[in-house]
A = this chain, B = another copy of it.
Amino acid sequence: MKKEELSKRLKEAGLKATPQRILILDFIMKHGHIGIETLYEKMKDIIPSISIATIYKNLKILEEKGLVREVSISSFKSLYELKNLPHIHIVCEKCRSVSDFFINEAEIKKYFKNLTNFDVNKVSIILFVECEKCKVSES
Contact = CB atoms under 8 A, between A and B. Distances in A.
Interface of A: 69-76, 78, 90, 93, 101, 103, 111-112, 115-116, 118-130
B69 A90 contact: no
Given A73-B72, A75-B70, A116 B101 contact: yes
A22 B107 CA distance: 43
Contact of A127 (B69, B93, B123): B123
Number of copies: 2
A43 to B, nearest CB: 22
Nearest to A73: B72
A126 B120 CA distance: 10
Nearest to A101: B116
B125 A103 contact: no
Contacts of A90: 116, 118
23 contacts: A69-B74, A70-B74, A72-B72, A72-B74, A73-B124, A74-B124, A90-B116, A90-B118, A101-B116, A103-B115, A111-B111, A118-B129, A120-B127, A120-B128, A120-B129, A122-B128, A123-B126, A123-B128, A124-B125, A124-B126, A124-B128, A125-B125, A125-B126
